[in-house]
């Protein structure tokens, strides 16, 4: 494969995101001989700090440095990238909120193929990449063929490739700012205003040692009482998955997941939670995970240490009674 | 405000366990309960709320066949003014780009101010909104969980980012937004509402009506193709506790005590 591979680097406060080194691993799986160029946008000293960190891992680091990119707006960045990227390159982008904003449109503007949310690569043959994706919130997987011969934009699921920590490159920083800015700063139709920080709730689940976490399997708002009863018996705090917040049954500050809170408990009990990757992605620090779900195929059983296949509505009240008995 | 909402009929994953069929060519579809894709339902609700404040109309559109009429009707029962089915033999096997190209052709038939899609659907791709916006050269925002109409030229929108934080933008109309769940509380659609729209004629637009070259969409135009479905071998996974409920609870309590799960 003679095509150049690019990895878009997300960064914050002068530090590259965990996905940066995962992109190298993904690129190597795509093409073991690939020289991988990092592409990064930002401003000033923070950008320079990330770049100097990246040169030990990437053969080239393409940077776009401009005051207007201090907070990167995907609508602006997309137009800049189109000016500097070759149309037949392979562009890897993390599949998270920024990548999802940037990448689909980028594939159109580069007239490149688009492969969203890849979790593994299984080789390239005759210009066709064989990749693995998941559908139905991870209940089934699929193989897909993506014709990458005329270029491709591929979003890669965070955490699906093991970070390449070898730091084996002695790369160089290539300043692409002038080329990217030729013709002026694009966009303007979508203007970034501000970040509204998450509201702090009555319980800070990021500090809890034991979490009893509830998902769609609870079925009805009135049933939440049994979860709070169990948590009380255990001395635990109550957290939840996204559907519970969407239904407005619990406040957003209790949501575990990539779009909610990142938690680091010692013990995590997932009750009626299917275990979409966005949820599991919010559980860090390798806690002991217990999953209870009536669907034996629920992806949460892959993340859990111990599983119980049962309807939480039947199981939880019995468990709570037993704990209360035990404690007298 | 003229609003178009792109919707998709999808298996309801809260009602179904999804299984791969015997030869891995598809999922088992025989007993599946279908509904409108959850994200799209939030998008339609949002469109209806904007229309009720600002005037104008809401049109729902899908790419598919006669089976998909039921979700168009469902969203019309919810309050959408119009429904359109984009259907043609040549559309079958389209990838995200193909679907976006078909939708683009429909968008260009009318003067829409705002296009909404769900942030993703059953295949988890989350691609059509962003592609459609790029094809139209309209501004785009993904994962939108807040919309406020500023005036007839622009909106204020919030994007859901990491950690429960929200990224606020001002965006010019016309634009495309992909809608995240939780942005509103979609209204209930009763049997009576469905009956009211049951006999409505849903206009069907074909490749010919839309001026789409057959080879640019469908299987022939697709650069990304699904080969099969499979259940990955993910290793051992969790140790499943077996026995009577009482026995299971015994084991669980032991584990909880050992791991510090009971204080």
pLDDT at B235: 67
Most B CBs within 10 A among A113, A128, A130, A135, hence the mutation to make, goes to: A135
- Confirm or reject contact between A4 and chain B (CB < 8 A): no
Give this complex's ipTM: 0.95
A324 interface with B at CB cutoff 8 Å: no
- Name residues 45-74 of chain B within 8 A of A (Cβ): none
> What does the pLDDT read at residue A202?
84
pLDDT in tens, A17-68: 999 999 999 999 999 988 899 999 999 999 999 999 999 999 999 999 999 9
* A179-231 pLDDT, tens digit each: 999 989 987 999 999 999 988 888 999 999 999 999 999 999 999 999 999 99
Q: Which of A246, A274, A307 sits opposite B238 (nearest CB)?
A: A307
Contact A306 B225 (CB under 8 A): no
Assess contact for A277 and A159: CB atoms under 8 A: yes
CB A214 within 8 A of CB A226: no
Q: Give how far A297 is from chain B: nearest CA, Å.
A: 8
**pTM, full prediction:** 0.94
A172: phi then psi, degrees, rounded to nearest 5 = -125, 150
Q: Where are the beta strands (DSSP E) in chain A?
A: 5-8, 11-12, 15-16, 36-42, 60-65, 90-94, 113-118, 120-125, 128-135, 140-147, 152-156, 172-175, 190-196, 210-214, 237-240, 267-271, 288-293, 306-309
Buried b vs exposed e over A71-81: b needs ≥16 C-beta within 10 Å? ebbbbbbbbbb
User: What does the pLDDT profile of chain B (263 residues) look like in tens digits?
Assistant: 999 999 999 998 777 788 999 999 999 998 899 999 999 999 999 999 999 999 999 999 999 999 999 999 999 999 999 999 999 999 999 999 999 999 999 999 999 999 999 999 999 999 999 999 999 999 999 999 999 999 999 999 999 999 889 999 999 999 999 999 999 999 999 999 999 999 999 999 999 999 999 999 999 999 999 999 998 776 678 999 999 999 999 999 999 999 999 87
How many Cβ contacts (< 8 angstroms) between chains A and B?
Answer: 264
Chain-chain contact of A100 with B124 (C-beta, under 8 angstroms): no
A167 touching chain B per CB within 8 A:
no
Option in A135, A245, A291 nearest B238 (CB)? A291
Report the alpha-carbon distance of residue A268 to residue A305 in Å, rounded: 10
Instruction: Check residue A297 and give its pLDDT.
Output: 86
A residues 242..271 contacting B (CB < 8 A): 242-243, 245-248, 252-253, 255, 258-262, 266-267, 269
Q: Which of B134, B158, B260 sits opposite A108 (nearest CB)?
A: B134
Rounded Cα distance between A292 and A271, Å, is 5
- Residue-range domains of chain B with CATH: 2-221 (3.40.50.620)
Task: Provide the pLDDT for residue A1.
Answer: 63
Instruction: Copy the structure tokens of residue B78.
Output: 């919810």
DSSP state of A127: T
Q: What's A32's DSSP letter?
A: T
Helices and strands, number each (H, E), in chain A = 10, 18
**B63 close to B99: Cβ distance less than 8 angstroms:** yes
Task: Kindly report the nearest CA distance between residue B199 and chain A, in angstroms.
Answer: 32
| CA B105 vs CA B82, B99, B137, B205: distances in Å | 17, 10, 13, 10
Instruction: Delineate the domains of chain A, giving CATH numbers in brackets.
Output: 5-181 (3.40.50.620), 205-327 (3.40.50.1220)
What residues of B are in contact with residue A244 (Cβ under 8 Å)? none
Looking at the partner chain, which of B126, B162, B263 has a beta carbon nearest the beta carbon of A259? B162
List, in sequence order, the alpha helices (H) in chain B: 38-54, 69-78, 96-107, 128-136, 191-197, 207-210, 218-221, 245-259
């Amino acid at each position: 494969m003679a095509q150049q591979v690019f990895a878009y680097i997300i960064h914050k406060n002068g530090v590259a995101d965990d996905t940066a080194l995962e992109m190298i691993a993904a690129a190597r799986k795509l093409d073991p001989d690939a020289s991988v160029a990092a592409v990064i946008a930002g401003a000033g000293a923070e950008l320079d700090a990330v770049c100097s960190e990246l040169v030990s891992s990437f053969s080239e680091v393409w940077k776009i440095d401009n005051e207007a990119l201090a907070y990167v707006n995907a609508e602006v960045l997309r137009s800049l990238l189109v000016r500097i990227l070759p149309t037949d390159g392979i562009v890897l982008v993390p599949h998270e909120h920024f990548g999802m904003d940037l990448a689909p449109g980028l594939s159109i503007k580069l007239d490149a193929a688009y492969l969203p949310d890849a979790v593994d690569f299984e080789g390239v043959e005759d210009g066709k990449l064989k990749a693995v994706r998941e559908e139905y919130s991870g209940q089934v997987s699929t193989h897909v063929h993506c014709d990458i011969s005329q270029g491709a934009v591929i979003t890669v699921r965070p955490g699906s490739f093991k970070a390449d920590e070898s730091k084996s490159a002695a790369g160089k920083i290539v300043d692409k700012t002038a080329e990217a800015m030729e013709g002026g700063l694009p966009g303007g139709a979508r203007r970034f205003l501000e970040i509204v920080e998450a509201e702090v709730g009555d319980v800070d689940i990021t500090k809890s040692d034991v979490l009893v976490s509830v998902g769609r399997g609870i079925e009805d708002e009135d049933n939440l009482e049994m979860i709070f009863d169990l948590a009380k018996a255990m001395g635990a705090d109550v957290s939840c998955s996204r559907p519970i917040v969407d239904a407005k049954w619990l406040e957003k500050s209790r949501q575990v997941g990539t779009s909610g809170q990142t938690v680091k408990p010692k013990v995590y009990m997932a009750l009626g939670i299917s275990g979409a990757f966005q949820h599991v992605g919010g559980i860090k620090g390798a806690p002991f995970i217990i999953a209870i779900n009536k669907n034996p195929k629920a992806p949460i059983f892959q993340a859990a240490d111990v599983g119980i296949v049962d309807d939480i509505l039947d199981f939880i009240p019995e468990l709570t009674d037993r704990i209360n008995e035990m404690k007298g | 405000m003229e609003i178009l909402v792109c919707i998709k009929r999808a298996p309801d994953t809260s009602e179904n366990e999804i299984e791969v069929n015997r030869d891995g060519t598809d999922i088992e579809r025989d007993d599946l309960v279908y509904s409108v894709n959850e994200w799209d339902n939030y998008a339609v609700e949002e469109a209806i709320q904007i229309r009720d404040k600002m005037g104008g109309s809401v049109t729902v559109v899908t790419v598919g066949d006669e089976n998909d009429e039921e979700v168009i009707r469902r969203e019309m029962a919810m309050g959408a003014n119009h429904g359109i089915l984009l259907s043609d033999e040549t559309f079958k096997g389209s990838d995200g780009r193909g679907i976006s190209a078909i939708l683009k052709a429909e968008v260009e038939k009318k003067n829409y101010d705002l296009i909404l899609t769900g942030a993703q659907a059953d295949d988890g791709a989350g691609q059509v909104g962003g592609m459609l916006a790029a094809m139209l050269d309209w501004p785009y925002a993904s994962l939108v969980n807040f919309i406020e109409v500023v005036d007839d030229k622009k909106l204020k929108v919030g994007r859901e980012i990491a950690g429960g934080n929200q990224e606020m933008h001002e965006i010019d109309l016309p634009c495309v937004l992909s809608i995240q769940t939780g942005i509103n509380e979609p209204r209930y659609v009763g049997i009576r509402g469905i009956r009211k729209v049951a006999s409505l004629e849903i206009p069907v637009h074909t490749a010919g009506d839309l001026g789409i070259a057959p080879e640019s969409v469908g299987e022939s135009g697709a650069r990304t193709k699904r080969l099969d479905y499979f259940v990955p071998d993910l290793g051992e996974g969790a140790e499943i506790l077996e026995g009577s409920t009482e026995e299971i609870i015994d084991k669980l309590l032991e584990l909880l005590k050992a791991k510090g799960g009971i204080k």
